[in-house]
Structure 1
Amino acid sequence: LSVQVRVLRDGKPVVAAPARKLTPDATADLARIPLTGAVTLGQLPAGQYEIEIGVTDNLSKTSATQRVGFEIL
C-alpha cells in the first residue's frame, strides 16, 4: 500500500506530501488502517481548503480517496 496526502484549494493542490509506503501490522483490520502525520499549513492564506488522503494498493492497482473540507481563519 502507498498513501499520499494533499491540501487543495479550489480543487487544485497547494500542498502535497510525497507518497509513502504504508505497511499495516499483520494483525490489523485491513478495512481500517490507522495513519498519523503532520501537514504544515502556516504559509497558507485564510480561506476554504480540503485535505485529500489517497491510498493505493500497488498489487491490485486499485485506489481509494477521501476528502474533508476545512477553513483557515
Structure 2
Amino acid sequence: MTSLENNYFKISVVCGIAIIVSLIVFQNFNSCPAKQFSLIDDITKYEQTYDPNMCIAIAEKIEQLNSECGSGLELPDCG
C-alpha cells in the first residue's frame, strides 16, 4: 500500500465509524425513554404557566407516546 492509499483507507474507516456512531446517537434520541424525559420537561414547564395551548400540545405528545411506546399515560384535562 502506498501512503496515499493508506490515507484513503484511514479516512474511509473514520467516516464509517462516524456514520455508525451518528446512527446510534440518533436512535437513542428517538427512543421511548428519551421521549418520556422530553415530555416530563414539557409538563414541568406547563405547571409553571398553565398555558392552555401548552396543555393541548402536551396531550398530543402523550397520545403519540402512548401509541408508539404503549406507555399508558393519562391525558391531562385541558378543558
TM-score by length of 1: 0.26
Q: Which has the higher helix share?
A: 2
Larger Rg: 2
Q: Which has the higher strand share?
A: 1
Greater relative contact order structure (CA < 8 Å, 6+ sep): 1
